[in-house]
Amino acid sequence: MKDMILIIEDDKDIAAIEKDYMEINGYGAVIKEDGTEGMEAALTGHYSLILLDVMLPGMDGFEICRKIRDKIDTPILMVTARNTDIDKIRGLGLGADDYIEKPFSPAVLAAKVKSQLAQYRRLRGTKELRRISLGGLTIEPDTRRVFVGDQELSLPNKEFELLAFLMENPRIVFSRETLYTRIWGMDSLGTTDTIPVHINRLREAVEENPSKPRHLLTVWGVGYKFQP
C-alpha cells in the first residue's frame, strides 16, 4: 500500500512535477489547486504527508498550515518562492515540519519527503505499522483500515473483524461455529446463520467477481477460508 501525498499547489506545472516525482519514488499523489479545497482534503482524507504552497487562491498556505496543525499531526512540507527568513520562521512556527524553496530540485524534494515520513513514523513509534497483504488485499489491524489495491474500503466492525481473522490465518478452514465464537463471542445472542450473510457482504466488497470468489472461499460441509 502506497503512502499518499497531498499536493496543495495552484501552479499546474509545478504541481505536475511534484506529482510525477512522488509517483516515481513509489508514492501516490493527489493535487488540490485551491487553498480551501486543499485544507478540506487534508482534514478529511488519509494522507501521509502534505506538500503545501504558500501563495494560494482561497486561503494562503500559512493559514492552511495553522488550521491543519490544530487538528492533525500529518507532516507538512511548505513550498515557497519567497526566499526570506521571515516566511520560513513563520511557517515553522505555525507547525510546518520543513520547507523547500522554488525553484527546487525534484530529487531534493523527494529526499525531504522520505526524510519527513521516516521521522514522523519514528516519533510515533509506527515505523513498522502492522499490515497484512495477501492477494491484492491489505488490512491494518491496528488502524482498522482495509485496501483493495490502493483503494480504501469502509467495512462495518464485524465484517472487518471477520476478514482480519481469516487473513491472519490464511488457508485454514474455520467452521461457522468457530468463526461465530471468535468474532461475536460465546455469550452473543444470535445464530451461526449470520456468518454466510457477512461472508457474502465481504465478497461484494473485496472480490472482483463476488459470484466466483478467489479469496473468501466456501469449503462445503466444513466452513470458510481465506485463499491468498
The CATH architecture assigned to 132-226 reads Orthogonal Bundle (1.10)
Question: Structural domain boundaries of the chain?
Answer: 4-124, 132-226
Query: How far, CA to CA in Å, does 170 sit from each of 78, 133, 157, 195?
Result: 43, 11, 20, 17
* Best CATH choice for the domain 4-124 from the list 3.40.50.2300, 3.40.50.1980, 3.40.50.300, 1.10.240.10: 3.40.50.2300
Residue spans of beta strands (DSSP E) within 110-213: 132-134, 137-140, 145-148, 151-153
Tens-place pLDDT, residues 67-111: 998 888 889 999 987 666 777 788 888 888 888 888 888 889 999
Tens-place pLDDT, residues 108-121: 999 999 988 988 87
Entry pTM = 0.58
